[in-house]
C-alpha cells in the first residue's frame, strides 16, 4: 500500500468521527434505542492511487440531520384512514420515550403529530436538535486537516471540500 500513512490517518479519522457523531447524537437527545448510533460506520476504500473515507448510518439519520418541515409531516387528520404508519411509529416512540401504556401513548402520539404538522415540524424542540453530522464535520475540520497534513496528504482543502459536498448531496 503506497499511501500507508494516509490510510492509517483515515482509519483514525473515521474512528474519531464515528465517536464524535455518537456523542453529538447523545448531546442532542437522539439516543432512545441506540440503533442510529450502532449503525454509524466508516469505511476506507483504495483504488489505484486514491483512498476514500466514507461513512454510513441508518436512513432515518438524515431526518435527525435535516429535520422535517411541517409541510412534509405525513399526518392528515380527518382523512378517514383507519391506520397510519406515522401514528403507529409515534405511538411506539411515546411508549419508549415516556414509558406510557398503549392508550396514553396513542394520545401523546396525536399530540406530537398535531404539533409537528401545524406548528413546528420535526424536531419539535428547535434547530439545536438537528445537524449532528454537519456540526461534527465542522467541529472536526481543523483536526482532520492537521492529521492529513501530518500524514503527507496533498490538496487537503479539496479533499475536505469534496467530503462535505458529497455528504450534503446525499442528504439533500
Q: Mean pLDDT in the chain?
A: 88
- Predicted pLDDT at 19: 97
Do residue 60 and residue 135 come from a single domain?
yes
Report the C-alpha gap between 106 and 11 in whole angstroms. 45
Low-confidence ranges of the chain (pLDDT < 50): 1-2
Q: What is the pTM of this model?
A: 0.81
Alpha helices in 2-155 (DSSP H): 4-28, 35-39, 61-66, 85-98, 102-115, 132-150
| Whether the Cβ atoms of residue 42 and residue 15 lie closer than 8 Å to each other | yes
Strand positions, DSSP E, the chain = 41-47, 50-56
3-class SS of residue 38: helix
- Predicted pLDDT at 59: 94
* Chain centroid to CA 134: 9
Report the C-alpha gap between 74 and 63 in whole angstroms. 14
Do residue 59 and residue 25 come from a single domain?
yes
- Predicted pLDDT at 1: 44
- Predicted pLDDT at 156: 56
Q: How many other β-carbons are positioned within 10 Å of the β-carbon of residue 18?
A: 17
Q: What is the pLDDT of residues 25-39, one digit of tens each?
A: 999 989 999 999 999
Do residue 113 and residue 88 come from a single domain?
yes
Number of domains composing the chain? 2
What is the span of the domain harbouring residue 28?
4-64+129-171
Do residue 15 and residue 95 come from a single domain?
no
Amino acid at each position: 500500500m503506497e499511501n500507508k500513512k494516509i490510510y492509517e490517518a483515515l482509519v483514525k479519522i473515521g474512528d474519531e468521527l464515528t465517536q464524535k457523531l455518537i456523542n453529538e447524537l447523545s448531546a442532542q437527545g437522539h439516543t432512545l434505542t441506540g440503533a442510529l448510533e450502532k449503525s454509524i460506520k466508516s469505511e476506507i476504500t483504495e483504488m489505484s492511487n486514491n483512498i476514500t473515507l466514507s461513512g454510513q448510518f441508518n436512513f432515518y439519520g438524515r431526518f435527525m440531520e435535516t429535520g422535517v418541515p411541517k409541510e412534509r409531516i405525513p399526518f392528515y387528520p380527518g382523512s378517514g384512514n383507519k391506520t397510519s404508519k406515522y401514528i403507529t411509529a409515534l405511538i411506539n416512540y411515546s411508549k419508549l420515550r415516556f414509558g406510557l401504556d398503549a392508550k396514553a401513548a396513542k394520545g401523546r402520539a396525536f399530540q406530537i403529530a398535531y404539533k409537528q404538522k401545524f406548528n413546528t415540524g420535526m424536531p419539535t424542540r428547535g434547530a439545536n436538535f438537528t445537524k449532528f453530522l454537519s456540526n461534527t464535520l465542522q467541529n472536526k475540520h481543523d483536526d482532520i486537516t492537521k492529521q492529513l497534513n501530518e500524514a503527507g496528504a496533498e490538496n487537503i482543502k479539496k479533499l475536505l471540500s469534496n467530503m462535505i459536498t458529497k455528504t450534503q448531496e446525499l442528504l439533500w
